[in-house]
A and B are shown apart, each in its own frame.
Chain A
């Protein structure tokens, strides 16, 4: 009974809240229009030596509508708490999410998929500003925005589908029997990671047409960095050992496969574990001299180590072919079927398909997806094992670790070795994907980029690293049209994120074992490690 009453009250408050939000939005729109109509709606122009009043009411209306829309969104999603907090929970989030979904899809799909849809606006912009360069700028801006909307739509839909599937499984009595005590939004938010996985698995089906090849190439690149980020996360995020030369292990992995593949002709699948082992060995070799170092000193030695590896690769001409690099690295085959146009055992021939270069791209995409998932699985498991807890304990307090009988030498070395092994896997994938490697690809810039991904994502967080890798690598690709402004945006957004979230996207830490209730630990307690 009481619940029913609560529900009614909740619903009414929710209605009120939507109503007042709309009212606020309308008022905001009106005020904005009044302001904009004089500022931008009317413009004087010098035409044939006399002033002409140009009417730009359309632009003023558009700006006012934008202000109203922003106000509505702010009311619904951010300021709503002040009005009707708990009472509105059941209805409002569902409604607003559906609204957001619809909006995202309509805007995103219209501009991104329908060819020439952005032309009208681009022409309008060119007219308004009276300069032809605004046509291209507007087109790029619209494409970026609509891409963002479409991406939001895809992610939200995936989250919704995963949530529905989870609930269906729970109803059927399969899966975790945990009670849904969380609010709807929290529960939906909890599906984010799984939703990303679902999207990653079906990505080759989502993107079709001429863009598919480019999209999958980019996705493979992003996944390579995710994998590198996850590997470095073991060293920096879990064990708290700052490593500025991580790219060295990536290089060792790449050169291991490139050399073994070209010299002995061994298959990728044989070389992959070998490359991982070589990289792990180098991880241990680096680990020994830096065991006693902490903080800045550790950072400098690892930085130097990364440079040593690169310079050796550059100068050991007889083995590595120096700056010319190694080319004709064997491509990976699909159970012995290669992806060439002509040949005996070709993929398209075997399956009776038309030859298409994108087959190889799709295959490579799935390889790196599987490798990344393997790395993720192993890391997640290790975190819950004594060794993983020892890493985290080492980050929190090394002296306490030693007093508890934990051998910090082996603990540090395993962290270096495991992190390096993951980089080795990523490196051999990189070598087979590119078909050509040279020391150019393994500069300090790469180490810094991977470290930026880990720090931006939140030290120790697997999901945060995915978000950061997509944001850093993906945005680099997305803003490619902006040319020289790209690095500016990159740097500015990084500064903004660090100001806004100083501990990265995901700053909290999930405990590895629970007695009663799993609660996230606030990032303020989690230490960053002193090396």
Chain B
């Protein structure tokens, strides 16, 4: 196994423009394997846009995003179609506003996530229509993987309930379980703690740490809840107006005056001091 400090994701000079608006301007950062890397910043800083570029929902205007699998295989994400990023580069993501298949059961949601392997087993659906043993075996395995994740996320009792019927916290957990069923190497979580109460947030921290340690996974995280961010992140990148303003360990970022200025604002008389300090 390669050392944990090896990089898994390189974002180089990423720029994303919407017309005249520069959502991300020349952003570069590296996420290391096995790390929980957090992307934070005030509202409108461009965090979700970075996610959308990484997962292929947006094509970046400029820049390069490369993913290196544990086996050393490189993927240039900006050149792949969105579904290829999920299927071959194995990057999974959740959404800020939960996007579950609400009319399907929790179990079905997790089986949809295993579309690729199951689809191969069904051999263009022919083996499936004929009900061959090979397909039935593959399906049983898929259900097994799904129930493993339902169990780990504490959802096993609600496996046969519609996803839309689950309470909010459970929907968040189901979305993570659905990502994990795609067997990702990089998991991108867009505000997983939004709308959770403190107890649920604490549980989420434990779950994320456990997933990372148990399943040899790297996590990229957008979060506003500083309790979650400071608690579990190994590495934090701070964005403001599409630019990186800080990059380092939680300890470093917490004390960075630029970050404090971006988050809390500054007194009017201090503006010039701070501006001098941050070399604006």
Hey, which bits of chain A sit against chain B, CB under 8 A?
Answer: 378, 381-382, 384-387, 389-390, 392-393, 395-397, 399-408, 509, 511-519, 521-522, 524-527
A515 adjacent to B112 (CB under 8 Å) = no
Asked if B220 lies at the interface with its beta carbon under 8 angstroms from chain A, I say no
In the bound complex, CA of A527 to CA of B99 (Å): 12
Closest Cβ neighbor of B157 among chain A residues:
A516
Asked if B86 lies at the interface with its beta carbon under 8 angstroms from chain A, I say yes
**Which 6 A-B pairs have CB atoms at the shortest separation, nearest pair first?**
A405-B86, A526-B103, A405-B87, A525-B164, A396-B101, A385-B128
Closest Cβ neighbor of A395 among chain B residues:
B103
Within the complex, which residue of B99, B119, B159 is in contact with A397, where a contact is CB–CB below 8 Å? B99
Q: Which residues of A contact B103 (CB under 8 A)?
A: 392, 395-396, 509, 521, 525-527
**How many Å from the CB of A347 to the closest CB on chain B?**
33
Q: Which residues of B contact A518 (CB under 8 A)?
A: 160
A390 adjacent to B86 (CB under 8 Å) = no
Among A402, A405, A511, A518, max chain B CB count under 10 A is at A405
Within the complex, which residue of A381, A382, A406, A512 is in contact with B131, where a contact is CB–CB below 8 Å? A381
B82 adjacent to A390 (CB under 8 Å) = no
A403 adjacent to B93 (CB under 8 Å) = yes
Asked if B241 lies at the interface with its beta carbon under 8 angstroms from chain A, I say no
Which residues of chain B in 158-192 are interfacial with respect to chain A, using CB atoms and an 8 Å cutoff? 159-165, 178, 182
Of the four ranges (under 10, 10 to 19, 20 to 34, 35 or more), the interface on chain B belongs to: 35 or more
Please give 17 more A-B residue pairs, beta carbons under 8 A apart, in addition to A402-B83, A522-B165.
A382-B128, A385-B128, A386-B115, A386-B118, A387-B122, A390-B119, A396-B101, A397-B100, A405-B116, A406-B87, A509-B103, A513-B107, A514-B159, A515-B156, A519-B161, A521-B165, A526-B102
Within the complex, which residue of B56, B107, B143 is in contact with A511, where a contact is CB–CB below 8 Å? B107
Which residues of chain B in 9-60 are interfacial with respect to chain A, using CB atoms and an 8 Å cutoff? 55-57
B99 adjacent to A400 (CB under 8 Å) = yes
In the bound complex, CA of A89 to CA of B247 (Å): 69
B101 adjacent to A400 (CB under 8 Å) = yes
In the bound complex, CA of A522 to CA of B104 (Å): 10
Q: Which residues of B contact A524 (CB under 8 A)?
A: 164
A521 adjacent to B105 (CB under 8 Å) = yes
User: Given the interface contacts A387-B125, A511-B107, does A517 sit within 8 Å of B160 by beta carbon?
Assistant: yes
B115 adjacent to A390 (CB under 8 Å) = yes
Among B102, B103, B139, B163, max chain A CB count under 10 A is at B103
In the bound complex, CA of A402 to CA of B150 (Å): 22
In the bound complex, CA of A407 to CA of B139 (Å): 20
Q: Which residues of A contact B75 (CB under 8 A)?
A: none
Q: Which residues of A contact B178 (CB under 8 A)?
A: 404
In the bound complex, CA of A378 to CA of B130 (Å): 9
In the bound complex, CA of A404 to CA of B102 (Å): 15
A386 adjacent to B122 (CB under 8 Å) = yes
Q: Which residues of B contact A384 (CB under 8 A)?
A: 128
Closest Cβ neighbor of A388 among chain B residues:
B125
In the bound complex, CA of A526 to CA of B103 (Å): 4
User: Given the interface contacts A393-B104, A511-B107, does A521 sit within 8 Å of B112 by beta carbon?
Assistant: no
Q: Which residues of A contact B150 (CB under 8 A)?
A: 515
Within the complex, which residue of B55, B92, B112 is in contact with A390, where a contact is CB–CB below 8 Å? B112
Q: Which residues of A contact B143 (CB under 8 A)?
A: 513, 515
Within the complex, which residue of A401, A406, A515 is in contact with B160, where a contact is CB–CB below 8 Å? A515
A515 adjacent to B86 (CB under 8 Å) = no
Q: Which residues of A contact B116 (CB under 8 A)?
A: 405
In the bound complex, CA of A407 to CA of B84 (Å): 8
Q: Which residues of A contact B100 (CB under 8 A)?
A: 396-397, 400
Q: Which residues of A contact B223 (CB under 8 A)?
A: none
Within the complex, which residue of B56, B81, B115 is in contact with A404, where a contact is CB–CB below 8 Å? B115
In the bound complex, CA of A515 to CA of B156 (Å): 9
A511 adjacent to B83 (CB under 8 Å) = no
In the bound complex, CA of A105 to CA of B182 (Å): 57
User: Given the interface contacts A386-B115, A390-B115, A392-B104, does A404 sit within 8 Å of B86 by beta carbon?
Assistant: yes
**How many Å from the CB of B87 to the closest CB on chain A?**
3
Q: Which residues of A contact B128 (CB under 8 A)?
A: 381-382, 384-386
Which residues of chain B in 124-154 are interfacial with respect to chain A, using CB atoms and an 8 Å cutoff? 125, 128-129, 131, 139, 143, 147, 150
Closest Cβ neighbor of B138 among chain A residues:
A386
User: Given the interface contacts A381-B129, A382-B129, A513-B111, does A404 sit within 8 Å of B182 by beta carbon?
Assistant: yes
Which residues of chain B in 68-119 are interfacial with respect to chain A, using CB atoms and an 8 Å cutoff? 81-88, 92-93, 95, 99-105, 107-108, 111-116, 118-119
B102 adjacent to A385 (CB under 8 Å) = no
**How many Å from the CB of B6 to the closest CB on chain A?**
24
**How many Å from the CB of A522 to the closest CB on chain B?**
7
Q: Which residues of A contact B108 (CB under 8 A)?
A: 389, 392, 511-513
**How many Å from the CB of A178 to the closest CB on chain B?**
15
A511 adjacent to B118 (CB under 8 Å) = no
Q: Which residues of B contact A400 (CB under 8 A)?
A: 95, 99-101
In the bound complex, CA of A406 to CA of B85 (Å): 10
User: Given the interface contacts A386-B119, A525-B165, does A403 sit within 8 Å of B82 by beta carbon?
Assistant: yes
